[in-house]
Amino acid sequence: MDLELQNRVAVVTGASKGIGRAIALTLAREKMRLVLAARSAELLDQVARECGVECLIQPLDLREPDAPRKLIDAAVARFGAIDVLVNNAGATKRGDFLKLSDDDWADGYALKLFGAMRCCRAAWPHLVNSKGAIVNIIGVGGRAPGAEFTIGGSVNAALMNLTLALADRGKTDGVRVNAINPGAITTDRLQTRIRSFAAEHKVDESTAAAQMAKHMNIARFGTPEEIASIVAFLASGRASFTQGAIIDVDGGQTQTL
């Protein structure tokens, strides 16, 4: 299916690895021009080379209040427009609620929520001009609270609320705003959890992965490419009537109405 994204401009945050890298590569296959943001210039260079399309890399820390504006300004300076913003950056610390510090909470909100909000705010006028789209990569923890995921769950819930609020405005301004909630996806972060589970239960990693998936009531873990393919669809005109959707991509782990 031709998504008619050729030569359009996408900004992807958290693009150096995992889901962000898969999104960049998938949009590159659609012949989009890309602005890739993350903290590591070296990793971004590697992703840009793999993409094989025109890329602008922006090594910056989106926790810094002025970084999102710098990112969007650089994208417009290079390409003249922005058609798609993919907010993918952000990881939050797991752990015992009573042991998580104020700094842990501030860090979790600084990147995933405030970084995404500031990127949306900076990019919005350009997306209005292009009748573009925002896709927020959030996470199923916002729907299903857990004792060990208090920071991430609350951040994700807030970002889902922001998605719907911006989608409401977008109906007037002509900007489509949607989100994806990944479940357990085979990224470095998940591999770390698998290794910890294996060590704790004294089993090998393949057994640990199978046991974790069974505990989540899913048949298997997902892949970054499965998230990326939905991003490409939501970025395209094929999704022109999709507004304010929050799509759970989690193998059926989350069962909510």
> Can you tell me whether residue 207 is helix, strand or coil?
helix
Quick one: what percent of the chain has pLDDT higher than 70? Answer: 100
Given the candidates 3.20.20.70, 3.40.190.10, 3.10.50.40, 3.40.50.720, the CATH classification of the domain at 9-185+222-248 is 3.40.50.720
Domain boundary assignment for the chain: 9-185+222-248
Q: Is 252 left (phi over 0), alpha (psi -120 to 50) or beta?
A: left
pLDDT at res. 190: 81
Rounded to whole angstroms, the Cα distance separating 53 from 232 reads 16
Query: Structure tokens of 167?
Result: 């989608």
Number of H helices, E strands in the chain: 9, 7
Q: How far is CA 185 from CA 9, 20, 168, 226, in A?
A: 26, 12, 29, 9
Please determine, for residue 216, whether its predicted confidence score (pLDDT) is greater than 80: yes
Bridge partners for 52 per DSSP: none
The answer to whether residues 44 and 38 touch, using CB atoms and an 8 Å cutoff, is yes
Express each pLDDT in 72-93 by its tens digit: 999 999 999 999 999 999 989 9
Sign of CA dihedral 231, 235, 241, 245: positive
The answer to whether residues 246 and 160 touch, using CB atoms and an 8 Å cutoff, is yes
Rounded to whole angstroms, the Cα distance separating 45 from 218 reads 35
User: Strand locations in 187-255, DSSP E?
Assistant: 246-249
The answer to whether residues 183 and 125 touch, using CB atoms and an 8 Å cutoff, is no
Rounded to whole angstroms, the Cα distance separating 11 from 15 reads 9
The answer to whether residues 112 and 68 touch, using CB atoms and an 8 Å cutoff, is no
Rounded to whole angstroms, the Cα distance separating 149 from 1 reads 38
Express each pLDDT in 18-69 by its tens digit: 999 999 999 999 999 999 999 999 999 999 999 999 999 999 999 999 999 9
